[in-house]
Amino acid sequence: MEKLKVINPIQYFTTVGEEIEDILSSNEISMDSFLSSMKWNDKELKSIMKISKSEAKKIEDFISVGEISSYILNFQNDYKSSKESAENTYKDNLKIYKKLEHLLPLLRNEFSDGIDVLEDISNFLGIDEESEILDKVKENIALYKISNFVPDDLNLYAWLRRGELDFFQKKLELYNKGLFTEWLERKEWKNNLTNLEYISQLPKILETYGVALVYTPYLEKTVFGAVRWFENRPLVQVSDKGKCLATFWYTLFHEFGHVIKHENDEIFEGQADLSKSSINKKEKEANSFAYDYLFNGDNLRKYLFGQRNKSVQEDFIHDMSARFGVNKMFVAFWMKKARIRSWTTKDYMPPFQIK
């Protein structure tokens, strides 16, 4: 049986009829004789939600228990007000669920103990009260310093939450900056830039250096990547924003730059192509780090932006790759940003998607 998206709490309430049924049972009164006396033979007692004052009085006379009519009528009033409140809560929860439904893929079947799907999502987000989710999310995201764009608070919170959960599922060694730097310098990754199997193994490789690399699918109006620190270990979280393999590598090494140069700083990358004037000192340092490792410095980018909006021959990418010692994928990457036109550019821009 499929779990309900949102439970209507009214289903857990005792109806007036059910309460009367309990009274009959506790007083050992025959159900058939009672229904006959009330002329309710055609009714299901449990489904009755309202009775009149005269019916309440008739019940009291039949049962011969003093003040039972007042008790039933008071119970009925309480049920009515509780039902109205429950219905309003249900409608509110449905609205909340519709705002959260797109987050379900991030749960990865790890959260299934909730009474309904909404509670599963709430458990994933780590927020107990469903009615407080949106306010708590806004409060949390306000704590982060994200200066270069305005995120979708809910999406970013969920994206970061998924990364944090993945971090604590890893068996990490202590962070060793020296060994991590040695791995970067060995450049085994350079021969595997388009090897998706190698990319899938990177998180396991980096665990030995105490670096948690997590891939999380992009959510609208979130980030390319982020670096956070838990237990003195870096969490490098990368999305597939842009669905471009070159962008993935650029984002990854940009984040590595933050890990090496800005230990224990939390960094969020909203835009991967900001102008130099709009990037602060730490972002420039992370950019330079990525440029040095992936593009042999900044000469390729500068040259291509000097050719902005031009059309080039089909051998242009090959020539630029040989001239600057840069993988053709990255030549195509910068050509696209410089709006240099060539019908071969797309051939060197492999897609990338996190599943």
pLDDT in tens, 129-174: 999 999 999 998 887 766 567 889 999 999 999 999 999 999 999 9
Instruction: Please check whether residue 16 is in contact with residue 24, taking contact to mean a CB–CB distance below 8 angstroms.
Output: no
| pLDDT score at 64 | 84
- Mean pLDDT calculated for residue range 191-199: 97
Residue 101: partners with Cβ closer than 8 Å, 6 or more residues away? 5
Report the C-alpha gap between 295 and 275 in whole angstroms.
18
Instruction: Please check whether residue 124 is in contact with residue 216, taking contact to mean a CB–CB distance below 8 angstroms.
Output: no
pLDDT in tens, 228-246: 999 999 999 999 999 999 9
What would the two tokens of residue 327 be? 């993988």
Which run of H or of E encompasses 234?
strand 233-238
Whether residue 275 has pLDDT greater than 50 = no
Report the C-alpha gap between 264 and 282 in whole angstroms.
13
Confidence of residue 335 (pLDDT cuts 50, 70, 90): very high
Bridge partners, 227 (sequence order): 236, 267
Report the C-alpha gap between 208 and 121 in whole angstroms.
32
Residue 116 has φ and ψ, to the nearest 5°, of -150, 175
What would the two tokens of residue 23 be? 């009274």
Report the chain's mean pLDDT, rounded to a whole number: 92
Share of the chain above pLDDT 70, in %: 95
- Short-list 251, 150, 129, CA closest to 202: 251
Residue 293: partners with Cβ closer than 8 Å, 6 or more residues away? 184, 187, 253, 256
Query: Sheet harboring 212-215: ordered strands across?
Result: 212-215, 233-238, 225-230, 267-269
What would the two tokens of residue 206 be? 């980096």
Residue owning tokens 């449905």: 94
Instruction: Please check whether residue 177 is in contact with residue 234, taking contact to mean a CB–CB distance below 8 angstroms.
Output: no
What would the two tokens of residue 58 be? 């008739």
pTM score, whole prediction: 0.85
